[in-house]
Amino acid sequence: MSNAIEVRGLSYRAGRSFEISGLDLNVPAGSIYGFLGPNGAGKTTTIRLLLAMTRRLAGEVRLLGHDVPREVAQALARTGYVPERPHLYPALTVAESLRLHAGFFQRWDATWADQLQRSFGLPGDRPVGSLSKGEAGKLLILLALAQRPELLILDEPTDGLDPMVRRDVLTAVLDYVAETGATVFISSHLVHELERMCDWVGVLDHGRLVAEMPIQSFKSGVKRIRLTGSPEHVEDAPFAVLSRMAEPLGPGETWVVRGWRDPMRQYFEGSNAAVRDVVDLDLEEVFVELLRSSRQGEV
């Protein structure tokens, strides 16, 4: 199994204002895949479609080799899920919540669940409804990890949590991945957070996948180049121009390009332009440029 998640031609529509049309996804087994997108891009909807919680209009979904929805029970038995919003019974205590969830999963590891509970500082006698947002976030991660899943699907798992709690949650996930080799599919709009942990990235905007690639290709292939001179037209370029802006002083321009390699400087030979500087972008800058270009219809 080369991909833990495979999606082909996934389509969905909500009213007249939002749709996912022909979405393809490939999440390599053993990877930590960051599913990036602004609020309202369709990340949660996509996850619900993956888990058969929402009915699709068309397309195919396979989780861990299982066809969804036909084999969704087999897929979910091997998948840990943390939703965007808590799905816990507020009247149950932490200990009662653990016992309840343990009854649904044959692979439940009670010993490790106890270790995580102590590590997270979650009192067993506390009602779930009295937990802080950070404590509830830790409990959700605990419940997902104690299933010993082969695939973790995390929907904005650290949104709204303070830095200390975010660190504890993500450390627990990374420790689990290091131990088991599990695959993680994590959606977020917190770009810098994913930059430190992911090895694959997919960018979603308005229900459309703008980019999907290893994170090193994602970061190294998009550059800001400063030009002396400004060619009027870009024809047969070996790179994609995501944006171009005239410099305040002088005839030069600043371009953001995708697919850049240093030998491509030769493209400007024979014109009135030359590359003056090439600047690396961080993941958030790349993310913003891809969204901007996508909305202009250039990617």
Do 183 and 272 have their domain in common? no
Do 225 and 195 have their domain in common? no
Beta bridge partners of 25: 7
| Strand extents, DSSP E, the chain | 3-14, 18-28, 32-36, 58-63, 66-68, 79-82, 151-155, 183-188, 200-205, 208-214, 222-228, 240-246, 253-258, 274-280
Do 212 and 236 have their domain in common? no
What is residue 30's DSSP assignment? Answer: T
Do 225 and 207 have their domain in common? no
From 187, 216, 245, give the residue that closes a domain. 216
Do 17 and 100 have their domain in common? yes
Do 102 and 233 have their domain in common? no
What is the reported pTM?
Answer: 0.88
Q: Which helix (H) or strand (E) holds 117?
A: helix 110-120
Question: 180-193 in b/e burial notation, b at 16+ Cβ within 10 A?
Answer: eebbbbbbbbebeb
Do 204 and 249 have their domain in common? no
How many Cβ atoms sit within 10 Å of the Cβ of residue 81? 21
Do 204 and 153 have their domain in common? yes
Q: For 28-81, how does the pLDDT look when each residue is reduced to its tens digit (9 = 90+)?
A: 999 999 999 988 899 999 999 999 999 999 999 999 999 999 999 999 999 999
Q: What is the CATH number of the domain that holds 17?
A: 3.40.50.300
**pLDDT-based confidence at residue 1 (cuts at 50, 70, 90):** low
Domain of 266 in residue numbering reads as: 221-295
Do 121 and 255 have their domain in common? no
Res 218 pLDDT > 80: no
Q: For 146-162, how does the pLDDT look when each residue is reduced to its tens digit (9 = 90+)?
A: 999 999 999 999 888 88
Q: For 190-217, how does the pLDDT look when each residue is reduced to its tens digit (9 = 90+)?
A: 788 788 899 999 999 999 998 898 988 8
Do 232 and 161 have their domain in common? no
Structure token pair of residue 274: 């030359």
Q: Determine the distance from the C-alpha atom of residue 271 to the mean position of all C-alpha atoms in its chain, rounded to a whole number.
A: 41
Contacts of 15 (CB under 8 A, 6+ apart): none
Do 61 and 192 have their domain in common? yes
Do 9 and 156 have their domain in common? yes
Closest listed residue to residue 46, CA positions, set 9, 10, 93: 10
Spatial separation of the C-alpha atoms in residues 22 and 9, rounded to whole Å: 4
Closest listed residue to residue 258, CA positions, set 236, 272, 243: 243
